[in-house]
Amino acid sequence: MRADRILPLAAVAAWCAPAAAPVVPPLAELFRLPRRLPEARGIALTFDDGPDRDGTIALLDALRDGGATATFFLVGEQVERFPSVAAEIAAEGHAIGIHGYRHTMLLRRPPGALRDDFARAADVIGSATGAETALYRPPYGVFSLPALLFVRQRGWSPYLWSRWGRDWERDATAESIADLATRNLVAGDVVLLHDADHYSSAGSWVATAAAVPALLEAAARLGEPLVSLSQSR
């Protein structure tokens, strides 16, 4: 390989390496991206992509019925559409996280755009919820190195997940979501779900809401409480 290509390739690798963290646990550990609760106690249900007038309300109802607390990673552009729903999430005692202002892949965005996105998301989400959050999850769970640096400069805690229900898929059902999310479930797991279909299959939140009782039952069988990521920090 030509020497003059080594540095550019190394730079690209450094830029993109955190992107594989959701599916390569050693990379998550290398970049200090938590996938599980720090004390390995409790189960954390987390919901991305909201708020949504229908999906989020359905999830809030299901969580309320089960007496469970969760974490919602909100998208700024959706908070602007549904500010009262975002406020309701906080009022119900759930933790608020930031999922960016726009739900776009961070690898495609230059550093200046990332800074602007993070600042705008924090402002919009904070204004609507009244919550000062320090939790962040990137769209699609994919970081670039600059994005990760900016997140830490802001004092935010990045969070990935250790279990998911693949509830964004067109053929997902309540049963498939619950089966996948609870398979080999153990204390300390962080479960990725979605309370909105803005960026996934239309109506996918219906199956997610229907799966919540089974998720709560699985945690109860383990004797583990449902906790928010804020409670675990």
- Tally of domains in the chain: 1
In a domain, 2, yes or no: no
Mean pLDDT of the chain: 89
Q: What is the mean pLDDT of residues 55-82?
A: 97
In a domain, 27, yes or no: no
Predicted pLDDT at 165? 96
The residue among 71 and 3 whose pLDDT is bigger is 71
In a domain, 150, yes or no: no
In a domain, 61, yes or no: yes
CA atoms within 13 A on the CB side of 33: 30
The residue written with tokens 């799966």 in the block is 211
Sign of CA dihedral 81, 52, 156, 138: negative
**Of the given ranges (20-34, 138-152, 216-230), which has the lowest mean pLDDT?**
20-34
How many whole angstroms separate alpha carbon 143 and alpha carbon 95? 22
In a domain, 171, yes or no: yes
Residue 3 has pLDDT above 60, yes or no: no
Residue 142 has pLDDT above 60, yes or no: yes
Predicted pLDDT at 20? 57
Query: Ramachandran region of residue 145, left (φ > 0), alpha (ψ -120 to 50) or beta?
Result: alpha
In a domain, 100, yes or no: yes
With vertex at residue 31, the alpha carbon angle to CA 25 and CA 34, rounded to the nearest 5 degrees, is 60
- Residues 11-25 have pLDDT tens digits of 334 444 455 555 567
- Residues 74-129 have pLDDT tens digits of 999 999 999 999 999 999 999 999 999 999 999 889 999 999 999 999 999 999 99
Q: What is the mean pLDDT of residues 144-169?
A: 94
Q: Which CATH number goes with the domain that contains 81?
A: 3.20.20.370
Q: What is the mean pLDDT of residues 126-151?
A: 93
In a domain, 9, yes or no: no
Cα 159 to Cα 18, 44, 66, 190, 207: the distances in Å are 12, 11, 24, 9, 24
Q: What is the mean pLDDT of residues 185-201?
A: 96
pTM of the model: 0.90
In a domain, 148, yes or no: no
Closest CA to 116 of 72, 79, 146: 146
Residue 181: which domain range?
A: 34-140+157-232
pLDDT band at 70 (very low <50, low <70, confident <90, very high): very high
